[in-house]
Copies of this chain bind each other. A is one copy, B any other.
C-alpha cells in the first residue's frame, strides 16, 4: 500500500500511543504528546488565520523553544514550507533570506521584534503566539505528495549569498528514521536541544525524537552549567553538539559522571573529536558517535559506525578510528571519494578526492537557483566540495573543506591534519589552522591555539611536538595563542575570521 512518507505521521502516532507521556519540556512547562499535538494543530490554525496557504513560506527567527518545535509540524501541516533562519545573522542577512525565500510571515522570539520590524515582514511574536494558541482553530492536513517541499534551510556560507537548501517530506522522514536507529532513540529517551533547530532542521531530530516517543528538552542558550543541571535533573539521555561545545562541557566545573545505566549518547559532527576529548567524555559516561553531513544532506548522511571490538583498543587508537566520518548511514545511500577524473580514488587512506553523496537524504536542490543546483548535483551525485580520503575498510576521513586547504609550495596541506596533531598535545584545548600568505611558499600554515586553563605552553614546545607527527612543511610557521576561537552559531570555527588576522 502506498502511503505518503511524511514526518508528520510520527506526531499522529505519538499522540495515539504516547498521549500522556511528556513530549516537550521547555523551562518550567511540560507538554504531553496529547497537548503537543493539539498545540501543533492550533498553531496551524493560527498560521492559517494569518493567511498562510499551501506552498507559502513561513520563516522562523527563534531559539530552541516549544514554538520552534511546533513550527516543524504546524507549517508543513498546512502544506506550507518552513524557513528556519539563524537568528545570529545580521538584520541585513536575515532580510536577504526572507526576501529570497519569499516568506510572507515570520515566527519570532520576542527579543527579535526590532529585527523583524526592520526587515518589514509580518510576524507573530512568541508572546502573541502563546496568547493566541488556546483559542485558535485546529488545522493540519494530509500531505498531498511525499515529494512536496517541507523546509528551506539557508546555508550559513562564509562568502557569497546563502543558498536555500530544499528538503522534502520524504527525505526528512527517511533521515529521521536513520537518526532514531543510530542514536538508539526510544520511548524513555530525553533529548536535549543543544543543536540549533534552525541548523538543517536540527538534523531532523524534531521528528526523530517524536517518532521514538521520546521527550524534547528545549534549551534556549548553550550554557554548560544549565546543560549539566538538566542532565542531572531531567535525566537527559541524548544530545547533539559540535566538539567545541563538548570541550566546553567537559571542562566545566559542574562536570560529573552521568548517573545512568546506559551512557549519555552524544552525536557530534563538524570536526573530529580529539583523543583528549574522547577520554574525558568516556570518564563522564558519555558515548560519542561521529557523524558527517551538510545542510544539503539533511544533516548526518554518514556515520562512523562503531565496531564493538574497537572499544578495547588504546584510547589514542580509538580516537584515530573515531576521527573518521564513516560511510553512508543506515538508509543505505552512497558516499564516494572522487578524483579529478570522476572515478573513485583508491581506498588507501591517503589519496585525496572530493566527497560525493547520493541518497534519499540528499536535497532536492537550491531554491530558485537552478545554476547552483546543477553545479552541485551532477550525474545523480551531490558534490560536497569537501575533501577526504577513503580508508581500506570503507571509512571516509575528511581532509578538509576545499577552501580550507593550504597550498604550500604546490603541496596541499589539510588544515585538519595539522589541527589533529596539535590537539593531541595535552596542553591544547582547541586549535585551528589556516593559510597565511608567504613570499616563498605561496601559503604556509598558521595556528590559533586555545590552551587548557592553567597549563603553561609555548610556541617552541608545540612546534617540537607536532614536528614529530607531521611532515616539516605542514608544521605551522606561526602560533597565535587566544582565549577563544570565533565560531558560528552551530559551533563551526569561522576560519575566514582567522585568515583575516594573519
A-to-B contact residues, CB < 8 Å: 1-3, 5, 9-10, 12-13, 16-21, 147, 170-171, 174, 177-178, 180-181, 184-188, 211-213, 305-308, 326-328, 330-334, 358-360, 362-364, 377, 380, 382, 393-395
Quick one: which of B187, B359, B380 contacts A305, CB cutoff 8 A? B187
Q: Which chain B residues border A13 with CB–CB below 8 Å?
A: 327-328, 330, 332-333
Contact A308–B16 (Cβ < 8 Å): no
Contact B362–A1 (Cβ < 8 Å): yes
The 7 tightest CB contacts between A and B, nearest first, are A9-B332, A1-B362, A188-B308, A17-B327, A16-B394, A13-B332, A17-B394
What's the minimum C-beta distance from A202 to chain B, rounded to whole angstroms?
Answer: 19
Q: Which chain B residues border A358 with CB–CB below 8 Å?
A: 1, 3
Task: Give me 29 A-to-B residue pairs in the complex whose CB atoms sit less than 8 angstroms apart, sorted by A's number.
Answer: A1-B171, A1-B380, A2-B147, A3-B333, A3-B358, A5-B174, A9-B331, A9-B333, A10-B332, A12-B332, A13-B327, A13-B332, A16-B327, A16-B328, A17-B305, A17-B326, A17-B327, A17-B328, A17-B395, A18-B394, A20-B393, A21-B307, A180-B330, A181-B185, A181-B212, A187-B308, A188-B307, A211-B332, A212-B330
Contact A330–B177 (Cβ < 8 Å): yes
**Nearest CB to that of A328 among chain B residues?**
B13
**Nearest CB to that of A184 among chain B residues?**
B184
Contact A3–B184 (Cβ < 8 Å): no
**Nearest CB to that of A360 among chain B residues?**
B3
Given known pairs A177-B330, A393-B19, the reply for A187 and B3 (CB within 8 Å) is no
CA distance A170 to B147 in the complex (A): 15
Contact A360–B1 (Cβ < 8 Å): yes
What's the minimum C-beta distance from A348 to chain B, rounded to whole angstroms?
Answer: 15
What's the minimum C-beta distance from A405 to chain B, rounded to whole angstroms?
Answer: 26
Q: Which chain B residues border A178 with CB–CB below 8 Å?
A: 177
What's the minimum C-beta distance from A265 to chain B, rounded to whole angstroms?
Answer: 12
Q: Which chain B residues border A394 with CB–CB below 8 Å?
A: 16-19
Q: Which chain B residues border A3 with CB–CB below 8 Å?
A: 333, 358-360
CA distance A24 to B327 in the complex (A): 21
CA distance A332 to B186 in the complex (A): 14
Contact A305–B19 (Cβ < 8 Å): no
What's the minimum C-beta distance from A66 to chain B, rounded to whole angstroms?
Answer: 21
What's the minimum C-beta distance from A392 to chain B, rounded to whole angstroms?
Answer: 9
Q: Which chain B residues border A2 with CB–CB below 8 Å?
A: 147, 170, 360
What's the minimum C-beta distance from A415 to chain B, rounded to whole angstroms?
Answer: 26
What's the minimum C-beta distance from A185 to chain B, rounded to whole angstroms?
Answer: 8
What's the minimum C-beta distance from A164 to chain B, rounded to whole angstroms?
Answer: 16
CA distance A481 to B377 in the complex (A): 69
Contact A305–B1 (Cβ < 8 Å): no
Inter-chain pairs besides A1-B364, A13-B327, 10 sampled, C-beta below 8 Å = A1-B358, A10-B332, A16-B394, A17-B394, A18-B394, A177-B181, A181-B181, A187-B305, A187-B306, A211-B330
What's the minimum C-beta distance from A393 to chain B, rounded to whole angstroms?
Answer: 7
Q: Which chain B residues border A334 with CB–CB below 8 Å?
A: 12
Given known pairs A177-B177, A181-B180, A213-B305, the reply for A377 and B1 (CB within 8 Å) is yes
**Most chain B CB neighbours (cut-off 10 Å) among A21, A326, A330, A334:** A330
CA distance A364 to B3 in the complex (A): 11
Contact B359–A1 (Cβ < 8 Å): yes
Q: Which chain B residues border A213 with CB–CB below 8 Å?
A: 305
CA distance A458 to B429 in the complex (A): 74
Q: Which chain B residues border A326 with CB–CB below 8 Å?
A: 17
What's the minimum C-beta distance from A188 to chain B, rounded to whole angstroms?
Answer: 4
**Nearest CB to that of A365 among chain B residues?**
B1
Q: Which chain B residues border A327 with CB–CB below 8 Å?
A: 13, 16-17
What's the minimum C-beta distance from A318 to chain B, rounded to whole angstroms?
Answer: 15
Q: Which chain B residues border A187 with CB–CB below 8 Å?
A: 305-308
Q: Which chain B residues border A377 with CB–CB below 8 Å?
A: 1
What's the minimum C-beta distance from A388 to chain B, rounded to whole angstroms?
Answer: 14
CA distance A360 to B228 in the complex (A): 41
What's the minimum C-beta distance from A33 to chain B, rounded to whole angstroms?
Answer: 10
CA distance A67 to B326 in the complex (A): 30
CA distance A85 to B184 in the complex (A): 34
CA distance A212 to B213 in the complex (A): 21
